[in-house]
Chain A
Amino acid sequence: MTGDKYNAVEFEKDAPILVMERLCKSYELGTMELKVLRDIALTIKNGDYVAIMGPSGSGKSTLLNMIGCLDRPTSGDYWLGGQNVSLLDDDQLSLIRGARIGFIFQSFNLINQLNVVENIEVPMYYQGFSEHESAERAIELAKMVGLSDRLDHRPSELSGGQQQRVAIARALANDPLIILADEPTGNLDSESGSEILKILVDLHLQGKTLIVVTHDEGIAENAGRIVEIFDGRIKRQ
Chain B
Amino acid sequence: MFIFRLKRTVRLGIKSLWMHKLRSTLTTLGIIFGVSSVIAMLAIGEGASRAAQEQIARLGSRNIIIKTVPPPEDKDVGSQNESMRVYGLTYLDAERFRNSITNVEVVVPSRHLVQQAWYRNRKVAIEVIGTVPWYPEISPIQVRFGRFLSSIDMHHKQGVCVIDENVVKELFVFDDPLNKDVKLEGDYYRVVGVVSPANLGEAATALESDRSKAKSQGANIGNIYIPLTTIKNRFGEISIQFGGGSGRSVERVELQEIIVKVGGMDEVLPTRDILETLLSRFHKKNDYQIVVPLELLKQAKQTQRLFSIVLGSIAAISLLVGGIGIMNIMLATVSERTREIGIRRALGARKRDIIMQFLSETLLLTFLGGVLGISLGSLVPFMVTRFGQMPTVITGISLVLAFGISGAVGVIFGIYPAYRAANMDPIESLRHE
Instruction: Enumerate chain A interface residues (CB-CB to B < 8 A).
Output: 3, 65, 68, 70-71, 90-91, 94-95, 97-99, 103, 105, 109-114, 122-123, 125-128, 130-131, 170, 174
Q: How far is the CB of A136 from chain B (nearest CB, A)?
A: 15
Main secondary structure, interface of B, reads helix
Interface residues in B1-52 by Cβ distance below 8 A to A read 1, 4-5, 7-8, 15-16, 19
Check if B348 is an interface residue, CB within 8 A of chain A. Answer: yes
Interchain CB contact under 8 A, B353 and A70: no
Complex interface: chain B residues within 8 A of A3 (CB): 348
The stretch from B121-129, B234-242, B339-347 touching chain A is B339-347
Task: Point out which of B339, B343, B352 has the most chain A C-beta atoms below 10 A from its C-beta.
Answer: B343
Given contacts A113-B15, A113-B19, are A65 and B348 in contact (CB under 8 A)?
Answer: no
CB distance from B286 to the nearest CB of A (A): 80
B residues near A (Cβ < 8 Å) are 1, 4-5, 7-8, 15-16, 19, 339-340, 342-353, 426-427, 430
* CA of A122 to CA of B9, assembled, Å: 11
5 more A-B residue pairs beyond the given contacts A94-B351, A98-B348, A131-B8, with a C-beta to C-beta distance below 8 A: A68-B346, A94-B353, A98-B349, A131-B4, A174-B348
Return the contact of A99 from the options B7, B15, B344, B348 (Cβ within 8 A): B348
Shortest CB-to-CB span from A2 to chain B, Å, is 9
Contact of B19 with A126 in the complex, beta carbons under 8 Å: no
Which one of A95, A123, A126 has the greatest number of beta carbons of chain B within 10 Å? A126
In contact, A122 and B347 (Cβ under 8 angstroms): yes
Docked-complex contact B16 and A113, CB < 8 angstroms? yes
List chain B residues, Cβ under 8 A from A128. 1, 5
User: With the chains together, A3 CA to B345 CA distance in Å?
Assistant: 15
Indicate which residue in B5, B7, B8, B347 contacts A170 across the interface (CB closer than 8 Å).
B347
CA gap between A105 and B427 in the complex, in Å? 12
CA distance A153 to B62 in the complex (A): 77
Task: Given A125-B8, A130-B4, A131-B4, verify A109-B430 contact (CB < 8 Å).
Answer: yes
> Which residue in A94, A111, A125 is a CB contact (below 8 Å) of B343?
A111
Given contacts A65-B427, A126-B353, contact A94 B348 (CB under 8 A): yes
Q: Are A127 and B427 in contact (CB under 8 A)?
A: no
Cα A125 to Cα B1 in complex, Å, equals 11
* Residues on B with beta carbons closer than 8 Å to the beta carbon of A90: 350-351
- The smallest beta-carbon distance between A157 and chain B, in angstroms, is 15
* Nearest CB on B from A169, distance (A): 12
Q: Which residue from chain B places its CB closest to the CB of A62 in the assembled complex?
A: B427
Q: Does B347 contact A98, Cβ atoms closer than 8 Å?
A: yes
Q: Is the pair B350, A91 in contact by a Cβ cutoff of 8 Å?
A: yes
Q: Specify the chain A residue showing the minimal Cβ separation from B20.
A: A113
| Cβ contacts under 8 Å, B1 to chain A | 128
> Which partner residue on chain B sits nearest A123 by CB separation?
B347
Are A94 and B19 interface neighbours, CB within 8 A? no
CB nearest neighbor in A for B426? A70
- Contact partner of B345 (CB less than 8 A), chosen from A94, A114, A174, is A94
Tell me which residues across on chain A come within 8 A of B426, comparing CB atoms.
70
